Each structure stands twice: as C-alpha cells, then as structure tokens.
A and B are shown apart, each in its own frame.
Chain A
Amino acid sequence: MRRRVAITGMGLVTCLGTGVDKNWNQLTCGQSGIRPITLFDPKRCQTRIAGEVPSEFDPLQYVPVKELRRLDRHQQIGLVAACEAVQASGLITPPADPYRYAVVIGSGIGGLSTIEAGYEVLREKGPKRMPPMMIPMAVVNLLPGLIAMRFGLKGPNFGIVNACASSASAIGEAYRLIASGSADVAITGGAEAVVGEFAISAFNALRALSTRNDEPAKASRPFDRDRDGFVLAEGAGMLTLESMDHAKSREATIHAEIVGYGATSDAYHVVMPDPNGAGASQAMRLAIQDAGIEPERVEYINAHGTSTELNDKTETLAIKSSFGKSAYKLSISSTKSMTGHTLGAAGAIEAIFTALTLESGMIPPTLNLDSPDPECDLNYTPNVRVNRSVEYAISNSFAFGGQNVSLLFRRP
C-alpha cells in the first residue's frame, strides 16, 4: 500500500536572503538577487556576476562556531536551511523513533571551493600542510550526515549527486522512502555554493554562463530572446517530508502534498538536452501517471528555465509534448530569473516555491522576460506575479548528463 507524503516544513537560504518568508516576498515582488561577485576577485573571468548569499547571512544563530569552521560553505547554508525546515515542522528532535527518520540531500559538486583552496595549499606548501578537514568538507554525503548528527536522525541517510537535478532526485527518493513505508519522516533537499574562480571559469569554458556583467539583475532572463546563458548562484533548500498519517496525528501544518515523481534520462549528449525533449516530456508524464490524474489538472509548472537557449526551447517543446493543447492554459515561470541557477540546490529551492504557489495562490513571475523568444510561446508569467488558485503543480529539473526529474505537488 502506498502512503501519502506531506510537506510539513521548509527552509531556504538563497541570494534573495535567509528564510522562506524573506525569499517568497522578494520572489513575488520580482526582485533579482544577482549582483557583482564579491566572494573572490573575478577580474580574470569572463563572467563577473553571480547570485551570492548576502553577507548578512548569520549561521552562528544555528551552528556553533567550532563546527562552523569545519564546514564548507555549502554545508553551512545547507545546515541553516535544514534547521529552518525542522523548526518550522514543529517536530521534536532527537525523535523517540530515530530509525524512522531519513535524510536525503542533493548537491552537484559539494565542496568544490574547499578542493580549490586545498589544491592551492598543496601546490604552495606541499602535502604535509593539507588541512585535515579537506575530505569531510569536500564530499557530498557529509551534509546529510551533519543533519543527522544535528537532530539525532538514524534512518536511511545518503547524498545524491545528479548535477542540476540533484535535489529534485533527493526529494523524489525521499518521497519514495516514505511512500513505501521505509521511513515516516525525511529531511530532504539540497545545497550548493561553488561561486569561485574555478567553477565560474569552468562553466565559462562550456560557454554556459551569461556575461551581462554591466546589468546583473537583467542577466538571468529565461525564455527571452536576448538571454545569453545562466547565472551561477549559491543556495540551499530543505524540506521536512512526512507520511500524511504521521503529520495528521500530530496536527502539523501541511504546506503541500507530493503526489508524483518522474525520472528519466535523455541518453543523448554530455551537456546538450535531446532537442526533441523526449526524456523531459516523459519525466512529466511519469509524474502525472504516478499521481493518477489527468494532465489537464496541472495548472502551474515551475520550469527548469535556466536562461540558456537550448534548455528554454527544449523545455517548451517537452511541455507541449506532455500537455498538448492544454499547454497554453498552464501558468509557467522560471524563478531562476531571480535566484540564478543554484545547480544541485535548484530542484529543492524550486520545489519550495512550487509548494508556496499552491499554498498562496500566487504565481511568481519570470523576471526579465521582455521580448519572448518566438520558439517559446507559452505563458511564462512575464515580470509580474499573477494570482491564480492552483490545485496541482509540477517542478522540473534537468541535468547536464541528460537526467530529467519532474515532481508533482498538490494543494493540501
């Protein structure tokens, strides 16, 4: 028997700020978090803008100073978002039945910035000077481990590495753990913080990033004719998932229900999506089948919408393929137009925005959509939020490597 899965807590740290309320206010007002890079001197890079977590971010509120020193930045923001998600759920930790609590967390490149700094130490000072926390700060599975240690959660625990779909995969797998009865509660989501010379220049080498350095707030412009690539950003999104029975028995606030998960692979190319969007379209179809609903009942899609020509066109095609004529009735938006692209954290951040859309009846806008690409002719909610009461909504996440994940949510 499949169990229903509820979202009972959420936590966010992005370039729009710390906390779910702050993020949602900024997002629905159409504020961009993209600014000139300050975390390193970007003068040698073609791209000199990014979505950095603002400097007022104060992890000491949640993380003891000694622990903080030993955490990579993605672990710091991930742990803070997890603290918000657990606190907001009202769950008491450590729990009495810790083996029923899972933690599943996604990150695309984990502690890349730590590796970058460690390699400089190795080159300049030699192997004997390597900082002892190099490995724990670098690997992706440490953040789920840290969350377990923090709250005393002893159930299934793992990290998922799936590029830009990492945390969408994490949420999907956590949903299945609860649906199948392997866990009653799961902390799930993702974190990414790789704004550094290494990642910026590596994505520049792939010609993937916007170089609109003079107009940072206008750089991420999904579905717009004048886009020139995605904008790299830091961020973390964490959710508390719970079996519906568990949530109801303790009278928890239910923000949304996860009702469908679809995962496919393009089997096509290293970094390009299948131009027909077949894999992406099938992921949406599988999520809809998993939920057991007619496609027409889905009214909002939080698009992957990276602001790259290839993604935006292919995703549009894939949506049309999954929804037929009713694709034109959908409200769609890409919140990456404001948060930038947080790689492995994007799926979780956008899952939270999708849940908030269901809860509030507000569709966040796609900022900077001034001159739509003629091949992108759906309703992407340009520039201003729209009030629309929605019962079912999808969040899409697609990865370099060809992985496609669609999550389907229902208003409680």
Chain B
Amino acid sequence: MDDIEKKIVDLVAEVLVDVNKENIRLDSKIVEDLGAESLDIYDMIALLEDEFGMEISDEEVEKIRTVQDVADFIKVSQKKS
C-alpha cells in the first residue's frame, strides 16, 4: 500500500471502530464487507474531504464500492488539481 492508501485505511478504521483494522484490505467492499451504513459513509466523506482538502460529490460516492475505489478517486482528483 502507498501512503494515500494507508491513510484511507486509517480513516475507514477511525469511522468503523468496531472493525479490526487488519481486516480492512484494498479490495474490501465498504458496505458489504465492512458493514458501513449511511451515517458511516457521511462520516467518512467528511474525514476524507478534510484530510485531502477536496470535495466528493454524492454522484462520485455512488460509484465507490471498495477501499481501492476511494484511493483511485483521490489520486485522480489530486492529479487534476
């Protein structure tokens, strides 16, 4: 995992405190595998936006399934800016 991916795993673990961090992998599905519900997702978005200084629209959130999807999205938007 690179630094961005590690940071995302940290943030996901911070929200999903009941999930063992070792069980959060890049291919983990955030809802299906890790058990996130709507409030968890909102919480993650707020933390990610704060950490990476960017905005994630609700449409973009709809496309995200796995931890890897989050990392890819952030890397792409960092290149754009």
Measured CB to CB, the nearest residue on chain B to A69 is B17
- Is B76 in the interface zone, CB < 8 Å from A? no
A70 to B16 Cα, complex, angstroms:
11
- Is B50 in the interface zone, CB < 8 Å from A? yes
Measured CB to CB, the nearest residue on chain A to B40 is A66
Given the contacts A65-B18, A66-B17, A128 and B49 also touching, CB distance less than 8 Å: yes
Contact of A66 among B18, B46, B50, B55 (CB under 8 A): B18
B interface secondary structure, majority: helix
Instruction: Report A-chain residues with C-beta under 8 Å of the C-beta of B16.
Output: 66
A66 to B18 Cα, complex, angstroms:
6
Interface size on B (CB < 8 Å)? 10
Please state if A129 and B18 are interface contacts (CB–CB under 8 Å): no
Measured CB to CB, the nearest residue on chain A to B45 is A132
Contact of B43 among A64, A125, A128, A131 (CB under 8 A): A131
Instruction: Report A-chain residues with C-beta under 8 Å of the C-beta of B1.
Output: none
A: interface residue count bin: 10 to 19
- Is B42 in the interface zone, CB < 8 Å from A? yes
Please state if A132 and B18 are interface contacts (CB–CB under 8 Å): no
Measured CB to CB, the nearest residue on chain B to A136 is B39
Q: Report B29 CB to chain A, min CB distance, Å.
A: 18
Measured CB to CB, the nearest residue on chain A to B35 is A66
Instruction: Report A-chain residues with C-beta under 8 Å of the C-beta of B46.
Output: 129-132
A69 to B40 Cα, complex, angstroms:
11
Q: Report A302 CB to chain B, min CB distance, Å.
A: 40
Instruction: Report A-chain residues with C-beta under 8 Å of the C-beta of B42.
Output: 132
One digit per residue, 1 when the CB lies within 8 angstroms of any chain B CB and 0 when it does not, for chain A 120-152 equals 000001001111110000000000000000000
The 10 A-B residue pairs with the shortest CB-CB distance, nearest first, are A132-B42, A66-B18, A65-B17, A66-B17, A132-B43, A129-B50, A131-B46, A132-B39, A69-B17, A129-B46
Partner-B contacts on A (CB < 8 A)? 64-66, 69-70, 125, 128-133
Partner-A contacts on B (CB < 8 A)? 16-18, 39, 42-43, 46, 49-50, 55
